Amino acid sequence: MTTANDVKRRWGWPEWASVILLTVSPASTVITGSEAASVVVLLGMFVGCWALLRLPRRVVGFTWGDLGGHAVAIGYPIIVIGVLSTLAIVFGAGTLAVLDAKSTLVDLGIMFAATALGTLITEEGFFRGWLWAAIRRKGTSETGALVWTASVFTLWHVPVAMLEPNLVLPVAILPVYFMNAMLLGLAWGILRMATGSVVVSAVSHGTWNALSYVLFGYGLRTGSLSVFAYDVFGPERGLLGVALNLIAVIGLWHWYRRKTQD
C-alpha cells in the first residue's frame, strides 16, 4: 500500500519542476504563438531552480569537460548528418547545385554559436544541468537520470512541434520527430554522463542544430541541400534519422562504458 509519506519521498524538486515546466511551457506557447516563450520559461526555470537549491557549479555540470569528450560531441552530429546528407544526394532527394558555400558556412557558424551558447543556459542548462543534478541528488542512478531527463526533454518539445506556427509538423511526422527528440536527449545525456559537463553537451547540441537546420531546414521548410523527402532523410523529421540516431546512441553508450572502465 502506497502512503502519503511514500509519495512525498519519491516526489521532490526535480519531479515538481518537471511538471511545472511541462505545464507552463505549452501554456506560454499557446498564449503567444511563439516557441520563444517556451524558451524564456525554460531559462526562468533553470535560473530559478538553481538559485533555489544552490547546487554547486560542478554538480550542475558547468565545467569545460575533456578534449576527447568535445571531439565525440562534435563528431557525433557530423557523422550522422553527413551520412544523411550523402544518402539524400545519392538518391536524388537533395542537391548541391543550389548550395551557396560561403553563405552556408556563415549560416552554420552563426547557428552553432547561437544555439551552443543559448542551450547552455536553457535546454542543456536545465535538462542535463540542474534537473540531472537535482534528481541525482535524491539518489537516482545515472541511468535513471538519463532516462528521466531525456523523457522530460522530449515532452517539452511536444507543444513546440504541434503548436508553434513556424515549426508545426504534419501529424504523421510527429511520432518520428518525438523518437528523434528522445534519442537526441539520450545522446546528449550520455555525453553529460561521460564528461560531467553540460558545456560538452551544449557544443554537441549547437553542432547538431547548425547542421540539421541549415542543411535540412525545420518545420516544413527546406534547407541548403533542398531535401524535399525530409520524412525519410531528415535528421529530426525522418525515419533514417531515427535509425542513425539509434545507432549513435548505442555507440555513445559503449564509448561511455569504456571510458568509465579505463
pLDDT value, residue 7: 39
Mean of the per-residue pLDDT values of the chain: 92
| 73 has a pLDDT exceeding 60 | yes
CA max distance for the chain = 66
Residue 184 cell numbers, joined: 537526441
| 81 has a pLDDT exceeding 80 | yes
Residue 170 cell numbers, joined: 504534419
Q: pLDDT tens, 114-173?
A: 999 999 999 999 999 999 999 999 999 999 999 999 999 999 998 878 877 667 788 899
234: left (phi over 0), alpha (psi -120 to 50) or beta: beta
Is residue 209 classed exposed, middle or buried when 0-12, 13-18 and 19+ CB atoms within 10 A define those classes?
Answer: buried
DSSP 130: I
Distance CA 200, CA 82 (A): 20
Domain ranges of the chain: 4-261
pLDDT value, residue 9: 54
Average pLDDT score over residue span 174-201? 97
